[in-house]
Amino acid sequence: MSQVFGFSGFRPGQAEIVEAVTRGQDTLAIMPTGGGKSLCFQLPALCRDGVTVVISPLIALMRDQVRGLRESGVSAGALTSGNTDEETEEVFQALDAGTLKLLYMAPERLAASGTMQMLTRIGVSLIAVDEAHCVSQWGHDFRPDYLRIGALRDALGVPVAAFTATADAETREEIVQRLFGGSTPQVFLRGFDRPNIHLAFAAKDNPRRQILGFAAARKGQSGIVYCGTRAKTETLARALAEAGHLTCAYHGGMSADDRRLGETRFQREDGLIVCATVAFGMGIDKPDIRWVAHADLPKSIEAYYQEIGRAGRDGAPAETLTLFGADDIRLRRSQIDEGLAPVERRNADHGRLNALLGLAEALGCRRQALLGYFGEDAEPCGNCDLCDRPPEIIDGTDAVRKALSAILRTGEWFGAGHLIDILTGTVTEKITARGHDKLPTFGVGREYTKVQWQGLFRQMMGRDLIRPDGERHGALRMTDAARPILKGEAQISLRRDVMDKFATRPAVKTLVSDEDAPLLSSLKAKRRALAEAANVPAYVIFNDRTLIEMVEQRPQDLDAMSRISGVGAKKLERYGAVFLDALTGALPAPVHPKRRALAGRESGAVLDGLQAVQAELLRGKSGMDRPLSCTVPELARIAKARPKDLAALSAILGERRSERFGAAFLEVLDAP
């Protein structure tokens, strides 16, 4: 693993999954976004005979993974509609030659004539399914062609390894049924925590200004702004561009060419901000997205988790900001209520939205609330806005009762604006025309300002105590959950801080110390130049996490460089000297390829010792003998084989050289 991918160890949960997939067990792995799902089928593919077919939903994702694998020296290819004739021919030649290890394709290709015959012919030994929730009607990115995978599994008689980042009980059940024919795979449900991601929510207060301020504090970092409408993606992109940011819009209404251009730019340009609808994202594998902002509330807690999970996949610090307001809640409720789904599905969708609103209106650590939804216990994280600045909690029972009373006394026919006028005793034409100034609740809430009452009503909507009624033009009605509070049978705590109008700006998490920032910028510039020359995304050379580790560790030679996470043998060969030059100010001395292949390994140090001994004995102990030496490949063979006696050494070196170097070589080999 370290030689190919440059990783010295597995992330939590990876080892068991890799072992199961390598053994050929049917496997379903639910892992956090950025948790290293790809390695869990790429590494077994190298360990198993035959071809691993990877079913993946997006062309851009497939092409990026193939590029990354090839950079690491792995034979991989993709059959997609975006291929040139030459690319497709190259893939088929590799398949015919038996050299291809991973073949990527979209599920839609399974419907093409000849695909099944081709897959039967090439010796498929494993089917890997990425974004497996797409097979489920309950999943939020349903792709009907994923349903063909079960038939492919039966036809080929090979194991299936399915991977997804979010799958609740209903989705998991349907994945098992659709992909595994109802038989039970080995299921791995790994922790959902992404501790490097800072979580933050803020009530909307001039959302454009809030997004511009968030982006300004992170200028030059790649980010995504998710928007609820196509129009907003374009207006926000223009505003960010006018503020000096590198930016573009992305939504489903754009032409296919424009969308592809946006995807390509985002993958390859450092510091680009994409303002997008949810049409952008599934399968985005750019590891160095440093922040994700939501200009509007996502549709569910699963969608939120998927979307923020596109940040910080390299493990380096990343940040999020989610804006929300009463209008967002009304919109999401109406979308559910006005949909055509059966009642049980609508109720489930309300539950998912309630979970997200509970996170937005949380009284304590947001990560505890998020992980609690996925069934995990957690301590306060210290990496969310509520841990950074604990909120002021108040007993909101009396205020909520007053609001509920106003709603009921007006027949549940009015929205928050009119109800707040009643509670604050504000005389308006609408109030007097309906006689609402005569109600017992008129003016009972003067202890709070209108802005504070707006925050209180939003929290009540977030707690699902009140809902907008689509048949009454969005008028607020009380839910069953509110009745115990109204009757005095329950109390409720609320956050005082979100009832006051102030701007929130989560602290910027720096990637390195201030003194190291210039060096990191220099390495990024070097990476950008190499990427442009190779016509690949910058992170294919090295991701941010690897560059950060270089800055922190300051490797001085190829051995030290090889121990940096993400620096495999191929990348060390291609880029090691270039980045050492940037780090030390000098190119390292040329190294024989056999020595470079052992960089960072114990046998590399042994080879150095053998070369040093050989230099001393080149003309024998007296210094007067005829020169005699071993080649570097021979010494490398000795360093790896570690022969224990002169007989074993002689088998490699022959008697003459064994006689001169044998005893000294054995001392090096026996050294601790």
327 with 238, same domain: the answer is: yes
User: Would you say 77 and 94 are in contact if contact means Cβ atoms under 8 Å apart?
Assistant: yes
76 with 131, same domain: the answer is: yes
Distances in whole angstroms, Cα of residue 282 to Cα of each of 258, 342, 484, 564: 17, 26, 42, 29
| Residue 244 exposure: Cα atoms within 13 Å on the Cβ side | 6
For residues 42 and 69, give the distance between their C-alpha atoms in angstroms, rounded to a whole number: 9
Q: What's the CATH code of the domain at 655?
A: 1.10.150
Higher pLDDT residue, 64 or 124?
124
Higher pLDDT residue, 308 or 540?
308
331 with 455, same domain: the answer is: no
Q: What's the CATH code of the domain at 118?
A: 3.40.50.300
Is 501 inside a domain boundary? no
242 with 124, same domain: the answer is: no
Mean pLDDT of the region 530-538: 84
380 with 414, same domain: the answer is: no
397 alpha carbon, distance to own chain's centre: 40
233 CB contacts (<8 Å, ≥6 apart)? 225, 227, 249, 250, 251, 275, 276, 277
Is 116 inside a domain boundary? yes
611 CB contacts (<8 Å, ≥6 apart)? 632, 635
Global pTM?
0.70
Token digits of residue 134: 């797409």
pLDDT band at 141 (very low <50, low <70, confident <90, very high): low
**Least confident residue range of 251-260, 496-505, 547-556, 593-602:** 496-505
pLDDT of residue 159: 93
Mean pLDDT of the region 200-214: 93
pLDDT of residue 441: 94
Q: What's the CATH code of the domain at 559?
A: 1.10.150.80
pLDDT at 164 over 50: yes
For residues 364 and 380, give the distance between their C-alpha atoms in angstroms, rounded to a whole number: 8
pLDDT band at 170 (very low <50, low <70, confident <90, very high): confident
273 with 327, same domain: the answer is: yes
359 with 257, same domain: the answer is: yes
**Least confident residue range of 95-99, 130-134, 558-562:** 558-562
Is 241 inside a domain boundary? yes
Range of the domain at 463: 393-495
281 CB contacts (<8 Å, ≥6 apart)? 224, 226, 306, 307, 310
Question: Which of 384, 405, 434 is the endpoint of a domain?
Answer: 384
400 with 480, same domain: the answer is: yes
Question: Which of 147, 162, 189 is the endpoint of a domain?
Answer: 189
pLDDT band at 1 (very low <50, low <70, confident <90, very high): very low
User: Would you say 259 and 192 are in contact if contact means Cβ atoms under 8 Å apart?
Assistant: no
Token digits of residue 76: 């991989």
Token digits of residue 14: 């990876």
Q: Give the best-scoring range by mean pLDDT among 435-439, 455-459, 618-622.
A: 435-439
Residue 627 DSSP one-character state: P
Mean pLDDT of the region 126-130: 92
**Least confident residue range of 159-163, 478-482, 615-619:** 615-619
226 with 374, same domain: the answer is: yes
204 with 140, same domain: the answer is: no
Is 231 inside a domain boundary? yes
Token digits of residue 590: 């040329």
Alpha helices in 361-489 (DSSP H): 366-373, 385-388, 397-409, 416-423, 429-433, 450-462, 483-486
Mean pLDDT of the region 229-242: 94
Question: Which of 565, 589, 613 is the endpoint of a domain?
Answer: 589
pLDDT at 6 over 50: no
User: Would you say 106 and 148 are in contact if contact means Cβ atoms under 8 Å apart?
Assistant: no
User: Would you say 266 and 289 are in contact if contact means Cβ atoms under 8 Å apart?
Assistant: no
pLDDT at 533 over 90: no
Is 332 inside a domain boundary? yes
Handedness of CA 558, 564, 570, 575 (dihedral sign): negative
pLDDT band at 368 (very low <50, low <70, confident <90, very high): very high
Token digits of residue 221: 């970092």
Nearest of 648, 556, 631, 630 to residue 594 by alpha carbon: 631
347 with 479, same domain: the answer is: no
Percent of the chain beyond pLDDT 70? 91
Is 502 inside a domain boundary? no
Is 597 inside a domain boundary? no
For residues 436 and 648, give the distance between their C-alpha atoms in angstroms, rounded to a whole number: 102
Higher pLDDT residue, 3 or 520?
520
Mean pLDDT of the region 479-502: 84
For residues 166 and 55, give the distance between their C-alpha atoms in angstroms, rounded to a whole number: 17
**Overall domain count for the chain:** 5
pLDDT at 280 over 60: yes
Q: What's the CATH code of the domain at 426?
A: 1.10.10.10
pLDDT of residue 503: 41
For residues 524 and 545, give the distance between their C-alpha atoms in angstroms, rounded to a whole number: 11
Helix (H, G, I), strand (E, B) or coil at 322: strand
156 with 202, same domain: the answer is: no
Nearest of 542, 539, 1, 570 to residue 285 by alpha carbon: 539
pLDDT at 558 over 60: yes
Alpha helices in 468-600 (DSSP H): 483-486, 517-534, 538-541, 544-553, 558-562, 569-584, 593-596
User: Would you say 653 and 614 are in contact if contact means Cβ atoms under 8 Å apart?
Assistant: no
72 alpha carbon, distance to own chain's centre: 21
User: Would you say 423 and 403 are in contact if contact means Cβ atoms under 8 Å apart?
Assistant: yes
Work out the mean pLDDT of the chain and round it to a whole number.
Answer: 85
Mean pLDDT of the region 181-185: 81
Is 595 inside a domain boundary? no
